[in-house]
Structures are given as structure tokens and as C-alpha cells.
Chains A and B, each alone.
Chain A
Amino acid sequence: MQTNQAKDVRAVLVRHARRAAQLDGSSTIEAEHVLLGLAELEGSTTARLLAEAGLSRDEIKAALDREWEQSLAVAGVRIEVGQLPTPSPDPARRPRIGESAMRSLKRAMDNASALGGGRIGAAHMLLGVLDAKLGRVARALDLAGIDRAALRARVATAAEQGDH
């Protein structure tokens, strides 16, 4: 039962993350899409901890857009990305796992074995995403003023208790 539930969560997460990548026009599932997928795991402790930290799905999207705008500004491009025309998504495209998502998965597995508690769960995945010091997610969360260390501690506690 436990195993089936864990499998279900993984399937749902992959579906959410892939959908987030599709809507983003991305050919790959990246760490930010995994984070968006985790925020969409309704009724889960992981999604609740994210929301309590100010990281609902919409808040994550806004933070990612601000990171995009700020990084464009470094190159002298000043635009509101919300004003960009939205291309039609490709419903048949199946984004593959990208490099940053692979790194997150690797870190999630490291966390799962370090914290015990058996199989890899949503909280481990979130730890894997949060443990990246570099990249879009880290920059976006820092810009949004998120206390990553405090959030990480709460998620680690939940993971230790097997509460995903």
C-alpha cells in the first residue's frame, strides 16, 4: 500500500512537472518544473510546507518570472515577461528530463538515503531541488526573499518522519 502510494505520488509529480514544462514551451523538464509540480501535489505535506513559505504554484511562477526579468536586465534587455506573446503549446510534445531535474533527482536520492525512511518521496524531491545552490530556482527563491535554509529544515523534518 505504502509502495503503491509512493508510486502514485511519483507518477503525479512527473505528470505535473511535464505539464509545467509543456506550458513553459520547454523541451526538457527542469528543476523549476519539478518545483511547480511539487507545489501542485494537492493535500500533501510538501505542497503545504511550500505554500506556508510563500511558494504556492502561482507564487513560484511569479518568482521565476522575476528572476527571468532580472537576468535579462543584466544583458540590457528590459521587458516585462508577462507581456510577451504566449505561443500555443505543443500538446503532443513529451519533454524529457533535463539536466537540472536530473541533478535534483540525484540530490533527492542522496537525501533519502541520508535521512532514512525508505523510498524516495515528495519531501526528498523538494530537498533535492532546494539543495541546488546555483541555477534558476536558487536565484528565483533568493530574489523572492525565501529563507531557503528554514524551509529546508522543515522539509527535512517531514521527510525524516516519512511525512511527504
Chain B
Amino acid sequence: MEIAQVADPADPGAGLAAVVALRRLADRLEDSQVEQAMRAGWSWSEVAEVLGVTRQAVHKKHARRLIAAGVALRRR
């Protein structure tokens, strides 16, 4: 990876667009990987610990979506 490329002073737009692209990627990965973990029987607490957030935060963000998708969720 060329760090200089990210910091290219001639094209700040490309560097800023990279930030947006990385956020999109992180969001997409969070959604799919939380779903995968819960399908594999992980608890909300375990997922929250790996992500470094509270159990409430991860539950609030993902529970409704996973219930709608028919994922069997553990209570704790």
C-alpha cells in the first residue's frame, strides 16, 4: 500500500472519497459479520466484546434486522 497515494496533495478528493469508501466497507462488513456470528450461535455479549461496544448498542443496531431475517437469537 502506498501511503503517499492516500495523502496525495494533488488530489484531496480521492483521499476523501477513500474515507467514504472505507466507512461503507466497515458498515457492510459489520452487518454481514454480526449476522454470521449470530447465525453461528454467538451471544450479543460476545459480539459486543469483540466489536468493543456495549451489548445494548449492538442489540439496538442489529436485533430487528436479524429477527426479520429469521435468525435464531440467543438471549444473552
Contacts and interface: CB of A to CB of B under 8 A. Distances in A.
Interface of A: 25-26, 67-68, 71-72, 74-77, 79, 81, 84-93, 134, 136, 139
Contact of A90 (B1, B6, B32, B64): B64
B31 interface: yes
Interface stretch (B9-17, B42-50, B51-59): B9-17
Contacts of A136: 17, 20
Interface residues of B, number: 28
B66 to A, nearest CB: 7
Contacts, number: 72
Contact of A71 (B14, B32, B36): B14
A42 B25 CA distance: 31
Nearest to A85: B32
Interface of B: 1-2, 5-6, 13-15, 17-22, 24-25, 27-29, 31-32, 35-36, 64-66, 68-69, 71
A84 B28 contact: yes
Contacts of A92: 64, 68
A72 B19 CA distance: 8
A134 B27 contact: no
Contacts of B22: 72, 75, 77
B68 A90 contact: yes
7 closest residue pairs by CB, A with B: A76-B1, A88-B69, A87-B31, A71-B21, A90-B65, A85-B32, A74-B18
Contacts of B2: 76
Given A91-B68, A92-B64, A134-B13, A75 B28 contact: no
Nearest to B16: A134
A87 B14 contact: no
Contacts of A90: 64-65, 68
A135 to B, nearest CB: 8
Contacts of A68: 21, 24-25
A32 B24 CA distance: 13
Contacts of B24: 68
Nearest to A91: B68
